[in-house]
Structure formats: C-alpha cells, structure tokens
Amino acid sequence: MFQIAERLARVKPSPTVMLNGRVAELAAQGRSVLSLVAGEPDFDTPEHIKQAAKDAIDRGDTKYTAVNGTPALRAAIARKFERENGLAYKPDEIIVGSGGKQVVYNALMASLSAGDEVIIPAPYWVSYPEMVLLAEATPVIVPCAPEKGFRLDPADLDAAITERTRWVILNSPSNPSGAAYRREELAALAEVLLCHPQVWILTDDIYEHLTYGDFRFTTIAAVEPRLRSRTLTMNGVSKTYCMTGWRIGYAGGPKPLIRAMSAIQSHSTTNACSISQAAAVAALDGPQDFIAGHVAAFARRRDRVAAGLNAIEGLTCRVPEGAFYLFASCEALLGSRAPDGQRITTDEDVALYLLDAAGVGLVHGSAFGCPGYVRLSYAASDEKLDAAIARIGVACAALE
C-alpha cells in the first residue's frame, strides 16, 4: 500500500485548487460560471517579451543554464534592484527559480529545521504556512486586524518573536488583502527587527508594480539598510509582466543563503527554463510603459468592484493599496439561511453558496487564515466583473 511521507501528512491540499475543481465541475455540467478565483493578470504577455523567447529558441538557448540563472538574467535583475529599489545586489547574491513560489520554497527548505518558527502575518498567501510545515518547522500565525488595514502591528510582531524565530514573512502588496506597507510602517517593523538579530526577513514583493493612487512601493532592505544582511528580497515577472505561465521568480540576498538555495535547486529543478529566462531579460530591460496602462485598468476595476460589493447588504470591503484582490467581510451573512433551507455558518459556506446559487467563484477567507471573509480577484474583464457583482447581489438578497 502507498504511504505518504510524514512531512506531507502535515500539509493541507490547496483550497484554491479544490475550488477550481468545483468551478470546472459546474462548467462541465453546462452551468455559466464566472470564476474570480485566479491569481493572474488577464492581459497577454507583451509582444516584445514573446519575441525574445522566440529569438532565444532560434539562437539555440535551449540547454541547461547555470543553476542560479543565466548571467544575462542575473545582471538584468541586479539592474532592476538598483533602478527600482535602490538596492545593490551583485549577480552572485541573486538566484532565479521557476517562479517566486520555488524561490520561497528553496529559501525555507534551505534554512529551516524542526522546532524553528516562522512568523506569518494573516491573512497570508496560502503557500507560506504549508511550505513551512513541509520544511518541518512551525508557522506562527499573527492576525492583522482589518482596522489596521490588515497590516502587521509592530507590537504584535515583537510579541510573536521567540529564540526559535528564524523568519518573518512580509508580503506587500498582499495576496489576499491587497494591503501594502508605507515606508514609515516598514520602518516601524524594522525597528522591532533590529532588536532581534536571529530573525531573517523574507519579503515577497511580487505585486510591487500593482499599486494604486498615491501609494509608493518600497521594500524593507531599502528602508532599513542594516537589515539587508538578513533579508531575502523576492520578486518575479509573473504579475507585472503577465508571465504567470513562464515560471520565473528571483531573489536577492546574502551569499550564504543564496548558495544554500542553489544547492536545493540543483537537486530539484536544476534551473528555470532557459527560454523563459531570456524572455525575462527582455521584460526587465525592455519598455516598462505598458505597466501604467495595466495599473490604470486594475485601479479602475478595483474602485468599481469595491463600490459594487459595498453596495451589497452583508458584504463590506476596504479599498486596498495594491495587487488585484478584494477581501470582503461576509460576517454579516453568517447565520443566514439559503432559499433551499441550508444554513450558512462559515465563510466557506458563503463561497460554496455563491458558486452553487450564483455561479460565481470566490475563495473563502479561512483559506488565507482569516475566517469571515471572501477573496475576489478583479483581474477579469469589466463585463465579467459587472455580471459577477450583479449575481452576488441577487444571491445575497435571497438569504434569509
């Protein structure tokens, strides 16, 4: 009989994958389903990036590359860190992986042992705690109050730190809340972290460019250079350059950590796809002006969908600084009854009800460590978003 590894037995299957399965099932039955589950831009990869990939194939860039990434891509990443973040990382302080997800995984696998603790502010990206568990360490979840914009309070961070704390994971702008930290908020967290030299900082900056209004992105190693020697600054091309399928993520950090991450990668995927790496060079070095167009479209949709959701009785959401998600409280709906008599008691019941009754796919907040909420992705067309909001409104009004 097949027996799964003990370490895997600690890990939950991805709830978003479960929901996607249910969405696909309903669609296969011929139901009209509007899925707002996906975490990817609905725009196509820009033409000049695709062309760079075609050129790479024609040039014969089809072989293994260096484990930590091609020299050309690491040089382009070093330029990006300097230009956009004011961070000087040398090419040997940079690693490229198959998506930001693999980079985070490598970092945790390379650094954690049983008994180590990792502080994860909630709501969080679903993979952080599961990766910590896979690395046989302990996730320490620190709730971030909606009144504080879902941002980690420095006093709560301080209270969560123990001698066993190895990492704190920051994600700004956040998936799922869209919340992002301003410079002074990062400075306040940095102040706490300066007092705890055993704690490293993993900052997931994958939504860096997707911020709206007057918000200005910055990252913790730039805000507090004294933390640079224990910070891993992670980023990737998936969200900014509409390249989710190309699987390129990267990070800059201290050499010993980068070397350890390379060792893990050398025995798993070896290197990120050579063709995607060539495309990522074109993304980082090429024209950046199209990003403003995407950002304007996302900002418009954010405002429109937030207004639509807030007009529905039972749902409320803040208008977040970045990413492409709205995180709406559905607490007022808990305890209600669906037209078929079914009692709605949890946020998961709300998500399943909206899927079954309205044909709208959302993700329940408890998947992100924050019960009483649902996450909606607005990386979708205006028509789809308008139709989804209308259907959600009708379904919520039918609850008693």
Quickly list H helices, the chain. 6-9, 15-28, 47-59, 71-80, 100-111, 127-134, 154-160, 183-194, 220-223, 255-266, 274-285, 289-310, 347-353, 382-397
CB of residue 169 vs ligand PLP: minimum separation in angstroms? 10
**The binder of ligand PLP chosen from 149, 236, 308, 322 (CB under 6 A):** 236
CB of residue 199 vs ligand PLP: minimum separation in angstroms? 20
Q: Check binding of 99 to ligand PLP (CB under 6 A).
A: yes
**The binder of ligand PLP chosen from 204, 208, 321, 349 (CB under 6 A):** 204
Closer to ligand PLP by Cβ: residue 363 or 396: 363
CB of residue 155 vs ligand PLP: minimum separation in angstroms? 24
Handedness of CA 83, 88, 91, 95 (dihedral sign): negative
Among residues 104, 31, 369, which one has the least CA distance to residue 257?
104
**The binder of ligand PLP chosen from 20, 244, 288, 316 (CB under 6 A):** 244
Q: Token digits for 15? A: 């709830």
Q: What is the DSSP letter of 238?
A: T
Closer to ligand PLP by Cβ: residue 13 or 30: 13
Sequence-separated (6 or more) residues with CB below 8 Å from residue 29 = none
Cα separations in angstroms, 362 against 3, 15, 197, 291 = 33, 11, 40, 26
CB of residue 174 vs ligand PLP: minimum separation in angstroms? 7
Separation CA 51–CA 47 (nearest Å): 6
Site string for ligand PLP, 317-356 (x = CB under 6 A): ----------------------------------------
Closer to ligand PLP by Cβ: residue 221 or 344: 221
Q: Check binding of 288 to ligand PLP (CB under 6 A).
A: no
Per the CB < 8 A criterion, the answer to whether 280 and 76 are in contact is yes
Closer to ligand PLP by Cβ: residue 237 or 357: 237
Closer to ligand PLP by Cβ: residue 151 or 399: 151
My answer on whether omega of the bond before 91 falls inside 30° of 0, hence cis, is no
Sequence-separated (6 or more) residues with CB below 8 Å from residue 148 = none
Per the CB < 8 A criterion, the answer to whether 290 and 115 are in contact is no
Closer to ligand PLP by Cβ: residue 176 or 372: 176
* Nearest residue to ligand PLP, scored by beta-carbon proximity: 99
Footprint (CB under 6 A) of ligand PLP, residues 150-179: 171, 175
Among residues 350, 346, 345, which one has the least CA distance to residue 309?
350
Closer to ligand PLP by Cβ: residue 359 or 369: 369
**The binder of ligand PLP chosen from 87, 169, 206, 399 (CB under 6 A):** 206
Among residues 314, 356, 339, 346, which one has the least CA distance to residue 400?
339
Angle formed by the axes of helices 274-285 and 71-80, to 10°?
Answer: 30
**The binder of ligand PLP chosen from 34, 39, 122, 209 (CB under 6 A):** 39
Stretch that binds ligand PLP, among 94-102, 263-271, 297-305, 352-360 (CB under 6 A): 94-102
Separation CA 126–CA 15 (nearest Å): 8
CB of residue 116 vs ligand PLP: minimum separation in angstroms? 21
Separation CA 206–CA 325 (nearest Å): 14
CB of residue 204 vs ligand PLP: minimum separation in angstroms? 5
Q: Check binding of 249 to ligand PLP (CB under 6 A).
A: yes
What count of Cα atoms within 13 Å lies in the side-chain half-sphere of residue 213?
11
Stretch that binds ligand PLP, among 96-104, 289-297, 301-309, 388-396 (CB under 6 A): 96-104
Closer to ligand PLP by Cβ: residue 123 or 393: 123
Per the CB < 8 A criterion, the answer to whether 319 and 177 are in contact is no
Stretch that binds ligand PLP, among 42-50, 93-101, 303-311, 380-388 (CB under 6 A): 93-101
Closer to ligand PLP by Cβ: residue 70 or 238: 238
Q: Which positions lie near ligand PLP, rule CB under 6 A?
A: 39, 99-101, 125, 171, 175, 204, 206, 236, 238, 244, 249
